[in-house]
């Protein structure tokens, strides 16, 4: 914009300077037909028109008067009758006529200068739009791309002289953006798969660990107890390695895939029954038979996480109760442990959070974070609080 203004001003200054240097006032041009008509009328005895001075040839100072008017560039014409000059008709209006002529000429010259200036400005504007502006856009585009902003478009005008050139740069930007998006998608998919596999492996490991603990307590065979202890130790090692791997992958992955669909509520019975070997679970009532909206794999992970936490921290009987709602079913899971400090309740679903009682116990602080995330993606909810006897988790599953 600054360059365009400077060029236009420069052209205008040159035009004005040229007008001042080369301007010349034209000589006034008289209407000779008018003057000839007036002389003819005077020669025939008519009265001289206004502004016309008549000097008779018989006048004593005839020549002196005529010469004095000629010196002032007055209009002097012979008055003849029968071929004889009888006097002079004089119009002493040269100064007024010249001033009027100069004013008219000045107006014409100004009009010409304005037309020339506008034409010059239009020409400069044409050069700017077709030649200079595309380069300015390219400069700005290059700066944005250098900063990593690949969403900045490079638009080509209809009359852009470098339209094809500009379009090629924009195609390059789109290809770079597409490549970046593909790379991000691949990286995201890789991280999600790694996190998902890591978390899925930990679920059966928890069952194996709980089974080993049962064998250690109930078995009377020392050899079985020793072997159960070895298995439990290896499970702990694997769990620690997987926890580290999952923490690293989930820290980079933005989300895990959840695919909810129409499912029978009776599937929940199987999810609870699968945990009875690991914990003492009491079911208060039967799950209401209906169609619910959930992802079986993810809902099972949510239940496993909550029951697993009760096994790990409360080590008491776990009670499961089903509450039928108009728009869904609540799976209420509670234990009889000490519960969670009130100030920590709001932190339970934060990524990597672990309470004071988690020291020395396996885990990554991701279980409840994932559980809440999974439920929200299934249009459900997870509510955690301290009940009358211990910690309570209410899992709301939406009805179809």
Q: Write the pLDDT tens digit of every residue in 172-195.
A: 777 777 887 788 777 777 776 676
Distance, in Å, from the CA atom of 390 to the CA atom of 393, rounded to the nearest integer, reads 10
Are the C-beta atoms of 154 and 177 separated by less than 8 Å? Answer: no
- Positions of CATH 1.10.287 in the chain: 151-252
The SS3 call for residue 282 is: strand
Q: In this predicted structure, which of 23-32, 33-42, 187-196, 254-263 has the lowest mean pLDDT? A: 23-32
Residues facing residue 381 across a β-bridge: 396
Residue 253: pLDDT above 50? no
- Lowest mean pLDDT across 68-82, 162-176, 367-381: 162-176
Q: What average pLDDT does the segment 207-212 reach?
A: 82
* Start and end residues for every CATH 3.30.565.10 domain found in the chain: 258-400
What is each CA distance from 253 to 39, 45, 186, 296, in whole angstroms? 109, 117, 11, 22
Give the pLDDT confidence score for residue 1 in this predicted structure.
47
Q: What was the pLDDT predicted at 288?
A: 94
Task: Place 381 in a pLDDT band, splitting at 50, 70 and 90.
Answer: very high
Which secondary-structure segment (H or E) carries 391?
Answer: strand 391-398
From 3.20.20.80, 3.60.15.10, 3.30.565.10, 3.40.50.720, which CATH number describes the 258-400 domain?
Answer: 3.30.565.10
List the single range of 50-64, 290-304, 358-372 with lowest mean pLDDT.
358-372
User: What top-level class would CATH report for the domain 151-252?
Assistant: mainly alpha
């Amino acid at each position: 914009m600054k360059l365009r203004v400077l060029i236009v001003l420069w052209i205008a200054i040159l035009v004005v300077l040229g007008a001042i240097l080369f301007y010349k006032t034209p000589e006034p041009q008289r209407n000779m037909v008018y003057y000839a008509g007036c002389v003819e009328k005077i020669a025939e005895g008519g009265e001289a028109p206004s502004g016309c001075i008549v000097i008779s040839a018989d006048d004593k100072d005839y020549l002196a008067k005529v010469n004095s008017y000629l010196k002032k560039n007055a209009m002097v014409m012979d008055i003849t009758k029968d071929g004889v000059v009888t006097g002079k008709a004089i119009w002493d209006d040269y100064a007024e006529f010249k001033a009027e002529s100069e004013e008219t000429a000045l107006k014409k010259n100004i009009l010409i200068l304005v037309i020339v200036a506008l034409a010059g400005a239009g020409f400069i504007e044409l050069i700017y739009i077709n030649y200079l502006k595309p380069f300015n856009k390219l400069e700005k585009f290059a700066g944005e791309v250098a900063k990593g902003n690949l969403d900045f478009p490079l638009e080509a005008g209809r009359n852009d002289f470098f339209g094809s050139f500009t379009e090629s740069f924009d195609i390059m930007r789109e290809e770079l953006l597409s490549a970046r998006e593909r790379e991000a998608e691949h990286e995201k998919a890789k991280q999600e798969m790694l996190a998902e596999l890591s978390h899925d492996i930990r679920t059966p490991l928890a069952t194996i660990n709980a089974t080993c603990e049962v064998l250690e307590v109930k078995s009377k065979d020392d050899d079985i107890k020793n072997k159960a202890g070895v298995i439990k130790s290896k499970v702990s090692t694997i769990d620690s390695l997987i926890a580290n791997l999952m923490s690293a992958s989930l820290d980079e992955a933005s989300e895990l895939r959840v695919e909810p669909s129409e499912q029978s509520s009776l599937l929940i019975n199987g999810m609870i029954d699968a945990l009875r070997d690991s914990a003492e679970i009491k079911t208060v009532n039967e799950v209401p038979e209906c169609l619910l909206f959930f992802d079986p794999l993810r809902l099972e992970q949510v239940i496993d996480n909550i029951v697993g936490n009760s096994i790990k921290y409360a080590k008491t009987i776990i009670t499961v109760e089903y509450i039928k709602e108009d728009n869904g079913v609540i799976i209420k899971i509670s234990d009889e442990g000490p519960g969670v400090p009130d100030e920590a309740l709001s932190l339970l679903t934060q990524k990597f959070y672990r309470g004071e009682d988690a020291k020395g116990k396996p885990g990554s602080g991701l279980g409840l974070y994932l559980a809440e995330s999974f439920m929200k993606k299934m249009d459900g909810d997870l509510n955690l609080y301290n009940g009358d006897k211990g910690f309570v988790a209410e899992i709301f599953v939406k009805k179809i």
